[in-house]
Amino acid sequence: MGATSKKKLLAVGGSGLVGSRILSLLENNFSIQNFSLETGLDITDPATLSPILNAPSGSIVFHLAAKADVDSCEKDKPLGENGPAWKINVEGARNVALACAKARHTMVYVSTDFVFSGENTSEAGYTEEDSPDPLGWYAVTKYEGEKAVVSTGVRNVIMRIAYPYRSDFKQKLDFVRAILTRLASGEEVKAVTDHIMTPTFIDDIAIALKAIAETGMTGIYHVVGSSSISPYEAVVTIASMFQIEKPKIEKISREAFFSGRAPRPFNLTLNNDKIMQLGVKMRTFEEGLKEMKLQGLRI
């Protein structure tokens, strides 16, 4: 396929931990452009969205821009719709969606497992049919962002991801490499026992995005890994996989670990059957760690 016939993929905020890896993996499949504050695109200011409006009709707009720091977002709560979390995660998403609708693009809005409360989670995990019930302000704004995108009538995909990790990214440590760094240096790692998460290998998100683009699917997708574990189990697995001798791991409760901080859900087991039905293999946490080692991650 020649460069001129590749489908256009516009990323909004694609230079971070998740987006930069996905764009590098898909550069041979799409004609890619990344827009951000650095390029002059401010999602809270519709006047700056001309790159989206001027892109070839039918492009895919991969929207990653968000205020994602859970505790910082919680501090915005008293400001409500006047706070940065709302302006970025809700109004910003709406502005991009409106531009996409006008230009007849498909918008892929990256959301989060945190839209669920983690209470009364079924054994099979939350499916795309389950109704969100967010706890903290970050979660509220991300869910309101989902609704804002859908309300514009734009052709859309809501892609919920969870605890993303990758083998290399110098600008920021994901949770796996942060834990590995501490374990390897002999530091003690406090690991929560009463929270369940669904870690996601970022390379698999790229494969999922490609499948969604190729099949033309729309709607909600849980693009998450195939195993749900506690942070304590994750730390033990990391220590074992990278053969850390006598790792210093201390069990701690969610209540104690997050004392004075934003509320965290209990059981965020997400079901990924829907995206797997598109032929996408979402790795388990152990499989993801093995791939990281194959890609050259060392302690």
Share of the chain above pLDDT 90, in %: 97
Containing domain of residue 15, as a range? Answer: 3-294
Number of domains observed in the structure of the chain: 1
Is 143 inside a domain boundary? yes
- The answer to whether residue 253 is domain-embedded is yes
pLDDT of residue 197: 97
* Helix (H) / strand (E) containing 84: helix 84-86
Residue 299, domain member (yes or no): no
**How many CB atoms neighbour CB 164 within 10 A?**
23
Separation between Cα atoms, residue 257 and residue 112, nearest integer Å: 21
Look at residue 215 and tell me if it is in a domain: yes
Centre a 10 Å sphere on the Cβ of residue 133 and count the other Cβ atoms it contains. 14
CA distances from 106 to 7, 26, 50, 112 (A): 12, 17, 16, 19
What pLDDT, on the 0 to 100 scale, is given for residue 5? Answer: 75
Tokens of 237: 């697995």
pLDDT at 4: 54
| b/e sequence 28-55, b meaning 16+ C-beta within 10 Å | ebbbbbbbbeeeebbbeebebbebbeeb
Supply the pLDDT for residue 3.
46
CATH of the domain at 187: 3.40.50.720
pLDDT recorded at residue 49: 98
Q: Is residue 29 part of a domain?
A: yes
Residue 112 counted as domain residue: yes
235 three-class SS: helix
Distances from the Cα of 120 to the Cα of 130, 194, 253, 269, angstroms: 12, 14, 19, 11
Instruction: Give the whole-angstrom CA distance, residue 132 versus residue 200.
Output: 20
User: Strands, DSSP E only, in the chain?
Assistant: 7-12, 30-35, 60-63, 106-112, 155-161, 164-165, 189-192, 200-201, 219-222, 249-252
pLDDT of the residue at 2: 46
220 vs 111: CA distance, rounded Å? 10
With a cut of 50, which residues of the chain have pLDDT below it? 1-3
- Residue 248's SS3 state is coil
Strand partners, 201: 165
Whether residue 56 is contained in a domain is answered as: yes
Q: How far apart are CA 176 and CA 184, in angstroms?
A: 12
